[in-house]
A and B are shown apart, each in its own frame.
Chain A
Amino acid sequence: MAKLQTEQPVRDAEIITLAFHVDYWNYLGWKDPFSSETFSQRQRNYVRAFGLDGSYTPQMVVDGKFEFTGSRYDTALADIGKSVANKKGEVSLSVKEELLNPSLSVKISGLNITEDSDVMLAIAEDNLTTNVKRGENGGKQLNHISVVRNLVSLGTIKTGEKTFETEKSVKINSDWKKEKLNFVVFVQNKTSKNIAAVGKTKL
């Protein structure tokens, strides 16, 4: 995934990546410090939408439309290429530094949604490193990018609505490195799970 983010290998596509660390492997002896039940639930929603037998890792999902084993780079390139035809709305983001927490202003336009949709904010951090002590990756030092620290709902959009606007105070935990954070806002259809708009900004 790091290669997709840093090299941007698909012409006509600007790739935004998010890594959701799931918590259902934590019982094996190593608790993933970035894992969350919320992210495991998000994956289960995809399992249902794609009609799969169950969750697995690593799993990659492109635009909420295509899923495959996360290590299959060629499949990723092909599906990202196909997703370029999926014309989305425009997301305009700006962040204002406040005394306690930054304020995120969100403006979405040009939507063409045929079902009710969620507007979500993912706060993701780059350049994280951990020394895994136990489990399948025990003894390894792992580097991560786009690690989702928090996923929150910004609201919903009804079928046929073309625009959305909101302002949100964003809570930043003290152990997150502000300069490494990305704010990713996306619109996702509630049932099909297709992504209808996506945008990113930094502090």
Chain B
Amino acid sequence: MKKTIFLSLFTLIAVMACNFGNNEVTDAQTYQTAKSEMLENTKTPNNTKEIVLVELFTSEG
């Protein structure tokens, strides 16, 4: 009986430990994805382009 309880407890702890580990991986992946998305959102086209000034000297007359 004692052996059965011990085994059940052991199994329960092992399962919890595995889940805890998995959650850590999932959280880390979620964080990385969110961070990448955030960086992508702030990288607007204007940030990657060089601004060039074009002047035209003209007249209507």
- A-binding segment of B16-24, B34-42, B50-58: B50-58
**A16, B61: Cβ atoms under 8 Å?**
no
**A63, B58: Cβ atoms under 8 Å?**
no
Residues of B within 8 A of A198 (CB): 51-53
In the bound complex, CA of A60 to CA of B53 (Å): 10
In the bound complex, CA of A16 to CA of B61 (Å): 25
The A-contacting residues of B in range 20-49, CB under 8 angstroms, are: 45-46, 48-49
**B60, A15: Cβ atoms under 8 Å?**
no
**B54, A22: Cβ atoms under 8 Å?**
no
Known contacts A12-B49, A14-B46; is A132 also within 8 Å of B54 by CB?
Answer: no
Across chains A and B, the number of contacting residue pairs, with CB separation under 8 Å, is 125
Residues of B within 8 A of A88 (CB): 50-51
In the bound complex, CA of A13 to CA of B55 (Å): 15
Q: How many interface residues does A have (CB within 8 Å)?
A: 62
A residues bordering B, Cβ < 8 Å? 1, 4, 10, 12-26, 28-35, 39, 42-43, 46, 55, 57-64, 70, 76, 80, 83-88, 91, 130, 132, 134-137, 142, 146, 184, 186, 195, 198-199
Known interface pairs A22-B59, A35-B60; 9 further A-B residue pairs with C-beta atoms within 8 A, sorted by A's residue number: A1-B56, A14-B50, A16-B54, A17-B54, A21-B58, A59-B57, A60-B54, A84-B52, A186-B53
